[in-house]
Structure formats: C-alpha cells, structure tokens
Amino acid sequence: MAGENSDVELMLRVKKGDREAFAILVLRYRKPLINFIFRFTRNVPASEDLAQEVFLKVFQSAGRYEPRAEFSTWLYRIASNAALNFLRDLKTRASVPIDGNSEADGDEAPMDLRDPGLPIDSGLIEQERVRQIRQAVSELPESQRLALILTKYQALSLKQAAAVMKCSEVAVKSLIFRAYSTLRERLVSVVSV
C-alpha cells in the first residue's frame, strides 16, 4: 500500500514506538491474519491467540524492520512460522489430532456460531459439504496447504507467496497445481464435473 498510511509508512512509525500506527496495522490485518491461521491450523481457539502472538512479535521486532520487503509478506512469514510451530507442538504432545476427524478438532461448533458467511438454515447437507472441504484442505501437505491458502484466501500473487515461503515462483505454482489436483480427487463427491 502506498501513500501516507501505507504499511511501510506505518511500520516506520511503529519502529519509533508509535502505538497508534501499530493499532492501524492491527485493524487492517487482524481479520485476514486470524483466518489465515485458522485455515492453516483448523483450530479456532488457537487462531486468535496465535494472531496476537504474531502481532506482538511484529511490534517487538519493529526495530529490525527494513522496508525492503512488503509488510504483508513479512507478516505472513511470521504467521506461517507460528502456525507451523503450533502444529508441530500439537503433534509432539499428541493431545489433539491434527489430521483426524473434524469433530475431534473442535472447530465446527464455534465456527457455526461465529461464521456469518454460513447461513443458519443451510441445513445438514451444507454443513457436511463445508466439513468435507475443510477436511480436504487440512489433509493437504503443509507446503501445498500454505501455497493454496496464501494464493486463494489471502489473495497473494505467486511472487508474494514465494517470498513468504522462501522458494521460487515455479515451486509455488507446482505446489498449487498439486494441491488443486488432490482436492479435485478428494472432493469428487461435491465437485460435479
């Protein structure tokens, strides 16, 4: 974003300890960030906590921020690391299944309460459809899932996604192709073609 209130401009003010500039950045990115973490971890309670941790880290690291890279790629880089660490901690503790049934993940009920995108009278068929989509996305390998979420939901370009994932654009394109191919097979019951 360019202009007086661009992300870079705001971050340069945050670098000098400006909390107001940081509040503007939080307002701008809190919803995309929470949803990015939610889609990656499929864990509702952890999404907001992790998003706060990411913002806290951004504020604490503001002194080292250099306006060479886009703020959004820096933010999603920190967020993807936080989300990956969270999932690996879960795997280590093995207290909550990550790739298991969605019912066991505990994300369905809070999602239904909070999600305005889902109509209340959508019915069980619609709920089952959403459950299958979430399940299919969560079962993708981490790199494919990250590439898909960054490009599909966070609307990043291939170049930006490559910067977040620290790989080439060709590699991201390949990951997206594989992710869509896998989803096409797994969602065969809901994809009519």
Residues that bind another protein (CB under 8 A): 19, 22-23, 26-27, 30-31, 34-35, 38-39, 44, 47-48, 51-52, 55-56, 59-60, 111, 114-118, 126, 129-130, 133-134, 137, 148, 152-153, 157-158, 173-174, 176-177, 180, 183-184, 187, 190-193
Contact 151, 175 (CB under 8 A): no
Considering the complex, state which of residue 87 and residue 147 has its C-beta at the smaller distance from another protein.
Answer: 147
Contacts of 142 (CB under 8 A, 6+ apart): 84, 87
Q: Residue 122 carries which DSSP code?
A: G
Considering the complex, state which of residue 10 and residue 176 has its C-beta at the smaller distance from another protein.
Answer: 176
Considering the complex, state which of residue 96 and residue 158 has its C-beta at the smaller distance from another protein.
Answer: 158
Q: Residue 94 carries which DSSP code?
A: T
The neighbour count for residue 29, using CB atoms within 10 Å, is 21
Distance between alpha carbon 74 and the CA centroid of its chain, in Å? 13
Contact 43, 50 (CB under 8 A): no
CB of 106 to another protein, least distance (A): 14
CB of 177 to another protein, least distance (A): 5
Considering the complex, state which of residue 94 and residue 187 has its C-beta at the smaller distance from another protein.
Answer: 187
CB of 88 to another protein, least distance (A): 22
Contact 14, 25 (CB under 8 A): yes
Angle subtended by helix axes 7-15 and 19-41, to nearest 10:
120
Considering the complex, state which of residue 44 and residue 79 has its C-beta at the smaller distance from another protein.
Answer: 44
CB of 94 to another protein, least distance (A): 25
Pair of tokens at residue 101: 């049934």
Considering the complex, state which of residue 55 and residue 93 has its C-beta at the smaller distance from another protein.
Answer: 55
CB of 22 to another protein, least distance (A): 8
CB of 49 to another protein, least distance (A): 9
Q: Residue 68 carries which DSSP code?
A: T
What's the rounded Cα separation, in Å, for the pair 54 and 30?
Answer: 10
